[in-house]
Amino acid sequence: MTAVNWDRVFADTPRRSYIPAVVWADDDDPINRDKDPDAWAEAVATDTPLVTQMDDGAEGGGLFPSSSASMPSLVRLMLDQLDIRPDHRVLEVGTGTGWNAALLATALTDGEVITIEVDPALAAQAKENLIACRAAPFVVVGDGLRGYPDGAPYDRLIATMAVQHVPYEWPEQVKPGGVILTPWGTAFHNSGLLRLVVNSDGTASGPFVGSVNFMWARSQRRRFDTREFVGDVIPDPAPDRVRHTTTDPRPVREEHAEFAIGLRLPDVEQRVYFGRGDAADEYTQWLSDGLSWASVDYVPGADKFEVNESGPRDLWAEIEAAYDAWRAQGEPAREQHGVTVTPDGQRTWVNGPNGRVDVGPASVA
């Protein structure tokens, strides 16, 4: 069976047919097709992500992005990594607008795509979009983290939202040798595109194959995503302890370092707040696990940086220890790490499935 001609599939399946009338691009101001059709058309035509739903569809919320249409180049990257054939049976988790499902349906000339969406309103709109465009995937309303056993087994499974934990239902429903592709991250850092291959024993294992940043599966969102970090998660930022560190915060925030730190401290969340005006190059990095918090202040030209902390854990010391552990391993890139999924859960690794990643505060020297 020949490979899919994705150039033809994308040409035959335009994104604009699946984008709602109101979207959000680079700022909080909505772009309304009825009020400004030129701005809407320009936004849809660009290679950028578009937020298509706020606050899980609730009215009058805090403008928390809850669904989006990914940038076309990223959609293409993921479909290339999925490595489908026209006769494959594919489960898509996270229907969204329906565009990705339509691309799959166009490609699977002798196969089938089933797409599952947890949000009934999004699923209904996607189904209307697909019917209008004469695409024919089977749309299901349900929790995609449980897969869709009625349609199993699948040759491929693709998720269009990020997870912190790969549910074992996914490898259970994919054939041995089949591929599972999902965005993956930790509370600390969300940037992994994980490609798993299902083994004959029912486990699945594979490396990270790229950088993506997707919205979380709703039941696996970070604990503090919808809360104000300083003032709510950290209700009183008055420190118990103040010290200085010689560790420059900037390399700690480098992408591959942050990813590796997140593997070791997956329960720690962070936010970074930059200064303004003359202080625009300064920033404060805040960390919290819900009980403890820490902040470190970066000032250009300084050789020591102030650390404020409170709670039972020394979070910045743990960050420094995780960073040092990553450096001691040779600063492996994100793509040198991977995940193995078994009935007992998931395990992250580095430099092959036998490589060890120590998790938790116990790794502090």
Q: Which sequence positions are flagged as catalytic?
A: 70
CB 309 within 8 A of CB 299: no
Report how far residue 12's alpha carbon sits from residue 106's, in angstroms, rounded to the nearest whole number.
8
* Residues linked to residue 91 through DSSP beta bridges, in sequence order: 114, 157
- Structure tokens, 318: 């743990």
Report how far residue 356's alpha carbon sits from residue 348's, in angstroms, rounded to the nearest whole number.
8
Alpha carbon distances (Å) from 194 to 16, 186, 341: 28, 13, 12
Q: For residue 215, give every residue at least 6 positions away whose Cβ sits within 8 Å of its Cβ, in sequence order, or none.
A: 65, 66, 67, 68, 161, 162
Please count the residues of the chain. Answer: 365
Report how far residue 261's alpha carbon sits from residue 195's, in angstroms, rounded to the nearest whole number.
20
Report how far residue 245's alpha carbon sits from residue 262's, in angstroms, rounded to the nearest whole number.
20
192: closest CA among 251, 250, 255, 146? 255
Q: Cβ atoms within 10 A of the Cβ of 135, count?
A: 21
* Residues linked to residue 174 through DSSP beta bridges, in sequence order: 154
CB 95 within 8 A of CB 116: yes
Radius of gyration (Cα) for the chain, nearest Å?
A: 22
Report how far residue 328's alpha carbon sits from residue 66's, in angstroms, rounded to the nearest whole number.
38
Report how far residue 118's alpha carbon sits from residue 121's, in angstroms, rounded to the nearest whole number.
9
